[in-house]
């Protein structure tokens, strides 16, 4: 085992940290967040130029084949900056489904476009009332000759408003199996009700009113769909764990600096042991989060049950830590943290959203419990 970064990984981290410091300072982020599409298209283009959208993508699509560690390193830096671009949806979640699906043509053309920064993608899987155990029930695909017609609603589709294409899970009418389709976001009959989320990212409810889909847009069908989705969602979850880690490290540092500078009762409040101990508890949480992230990364290519269990452990431990670190950061700052002009509250919102995306702490605890009880 070796937990030290290679020279290349170190360069990636340093490059990302420098770029985001220059282009994604807190005020810049506020300005980016205030206007549609809610992220920076310029930054997105830079990510393509910097090769970040190629990380882990297959070589024949112009990608940079490397381990998932590189993605995690980049995500940690994104978390530090609270970057808003739909990186996980596009380059981790949907790209992974495309890479492993059986549709060779869609895989090649879409992944190439992802690497070049020409498309953004979103996974439309969650359904109204389905919480996290979403199985496609309400969206139905009916065969129409060789093609399909989609009908129904998906809800809470992350990063959908700015996506060029959606990957949609649907139940095949008259059959038990689900299927995955790649659908142009501008397809006739596709309706998108967009809204912002607590962390500043955008999502949408997506309606399909007799949306025509050609057979060539079917990515997968049958029992492989579950495994495709699960594997890609596990990776996306782990990417977000890395983001949460970066966000936590950043807000703990911010809090420490505040405790050193804020004077009350004639001394910096960091002299008070009650506050020191809170900060120490936050430090312990962040240490454990990094450790469980590495545990998850070590199992990202393991067989499905083991992989999912370890990803769930990572999500659960990190979600717990995120609650503690996020709320304590506000408490230690006092009222200043309640203002939108100060960063601490934005970290809190990011960390809160993290817990609810791709399965919350309870959902992941139960998934891990099925493994632990064996």
If the CB atoms of residues 63 and 270 are measured against other proteins, the closer one turns out to be 270
**End-to-end Cα distance, the chain:** 27
If the CB atoms of residues 267 and 339 are measured against other proteins, the closer one turns out to be 267
List beta partners, residue 268: 263
If the CB atoms of residues 270 and 359 are measured against other proteins, the closer one turns out to be 270
Interface with other proteins includes 9 (CB under 8 A)? yes
Q: Minimum distance between the CB of residue 275 and other proteins, rounded to whole angstroms?
A: 8
CA distance 113 to 98: 12
Q: Minimum distance between the CB of residue 327 and other proteins, rounded to whole angstroms?
A: 18
If the CB atoms of residues 223 and 287 are measured against other proteins, the closer one turns out to be 287
Q: Which residues contact 192 (CB under 8 A, 6 or more apart)?
A: 160, 161, 185, 204, 205, 206, 207
Site string for other proteins, 307-326 (x = CB under 8 A): ---x-xx--xx---------
Of the residues 21, 118, 131, 370, which one makes contact with other proteins according to CB under 8 A: 370
If the CB atoms of residues 21 and 370 are measured against other proteins, the closer one turns out to be 370
List beta partners, residue 356: none
Q: Minimum distance between the CB of residue 325 and other proteins, rounded to whole angstroms?
A: 14
CA distance 118 to 111: 10
If the CB atoms of residues 68 and 181 are measured against other proteins, the closer one turns out to be 68
Helix axes 304-333, 343-356, angle to 10 degrees: 150
Q: Minimum distance between the CB of residue 87 and other proteins, rounded to whole angstroms?
A: 20
Site string for other proteins, 231-250 (x = CB under 8 A): --------------------
CA angle 205, 225, 136 (to 5 degrees): 35
CA distance 285 to 236: 22
Interface with other proteins includes 132 (CB under 8 A)? no
Q: Minimum distance between the CB of residue 207 and other proteins, rounded to whole angstroms?
A: 35
Token match 């990515």: residue?
219
If the CB atoms of residues 312 and 328 are measured against other proteins, the closer one turns out to be 312
* Cβ-contact 139, 130 below 8 angstroms: no
CA distance 327 to 319: 12
Main-chain dihedrals φ then ψ at residue 158, nearest 5 degrees: -65, 135
Q: Minimum distance between the CB of residue 303 and other proteins, rounded to whole angstroms?
A: 15
CA distance 182 to 103: 10
| DSSP tag of 173 | T
Distances from the Cα of 75 to the Cα of 169, 236, 243, 299, angstroms: 26, 10, 5, 18
If the CB atoms of residues 184 and 366 are measured against other proteins, the closer one turns out to be 366
Interface with other proteins includes 335 (CB under 8 A)? no
CA distance 235 to 299: 10
Interface with other proteins includes 4 (CB under 8 A)? yes
Binding region for other proteins (CB under 8 A) out of 152-160, 226-234, 235-243, 364-372: 364-372
**Three-state SS at 120:** coil
Interface with other proteins includes 260 (CB under 8 A)? yes
Interface with other proteins includes 7 (CB under 8 A)? no
Q: Residues binding other proteins: what is the number (CB under 8 A)?
A: 44
Interface with other proteins includes 3 (CB under 8 A)? yes
Site string for other proteins, 269-308 (x = CB under 8 A): -xx-x--xx-xxx-xx--xxxxxx-xx-xx----------
Question: Which run of H or of E encompasses 100?
Answer: helix 95-100
Of the residues 256, 262, 342, 356, which one makes contact with other proteins according to CB under 8 A: 256
* Cβ-contact 46, 78 below 8 angstroms: no
Q: Which residues bind other proteins (CB under 8 A)?
A: 1-6, 9, 67, 69, 256, 259-260, 270-271, 273, 276-277, 279-281, 283-284, 287-292, 294-295, 297-298, 310, 312-313, 316-317, 365-366, 368-370, 372-373
């Amino acid at each position: 085992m070796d937990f030290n970064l290679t020279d290349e990984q170190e360069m990636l981290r340093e490059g990302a940290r420098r770029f985001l410091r220059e282009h994604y300072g807190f005020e810049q982020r506020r300005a980016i967040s205030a206007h549609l599409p809610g992220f920076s298209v310029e930054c997105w283009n830079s990510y393509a130029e910097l090769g970040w959208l190629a990380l882990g993508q297959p070589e024949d699509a112009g990608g940079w084949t490397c381990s998932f560690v590189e993605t995690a390193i980049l995500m940690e830096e994104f978390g530090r900056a609270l970057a808003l671009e739909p990186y996980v949806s596009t380059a981790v979640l949907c790209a992974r489904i495309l890479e492993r699906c059986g549709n060779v043509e869609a895989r090649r053309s879409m992944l190439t476009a992802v690497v070049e920064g020409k498309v953004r993608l979103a996974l439309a899987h969650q359904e109204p009332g389905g919480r996290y155990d979403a199985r496609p029930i309400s969206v139905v695909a009916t065969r129409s000759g060789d093609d399909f017609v989609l009908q129904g609603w998906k809800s809470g589709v992350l990063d959908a408003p700015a996506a060029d294409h959606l990957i949609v899970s649907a139940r095949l009418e008259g059959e038990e199996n689900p299927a995955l389709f790649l659908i142009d976001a501008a397809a006739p009959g596709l309706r998108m009700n967009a809204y912002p989320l607590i962390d500043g990212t955008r999502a949408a409810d997506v309606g399909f009113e007799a949306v025509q889909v050609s057979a060539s847009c079917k990515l997968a069908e049958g029992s492989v769909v579950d495994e495709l989705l699960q594997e890609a969602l596990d990776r996306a979850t782990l990417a977000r764990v890395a983001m949460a880690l970066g966000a936590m490290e950043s807000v703990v540092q911010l809090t420490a600096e505040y405790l050193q500078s804020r004077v009350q009762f004639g001394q910096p409040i960091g002299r008070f042991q009650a506050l020191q101990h809170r900060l120490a508890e936050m430090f312990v949480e962040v240490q454990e989060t990094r450790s469980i992230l590495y545990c998850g990364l070590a199992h990202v290519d393991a067989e499905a049950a083991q992989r999912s269990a370890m990803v769930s452990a990572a999500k659960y431990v990190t979600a717990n830590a995120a609650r503690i670190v996020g709320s304590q950061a506000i408490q230690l700052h006092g009222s200043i943290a309640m203002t939108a002009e100060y960063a601490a509250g934005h970290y809190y919102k990011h960390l809160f959203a993290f817990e609810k995306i791709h399965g919350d702490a309870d959902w992941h605890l139960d998934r891990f419990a099925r493994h632990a009880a064996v």
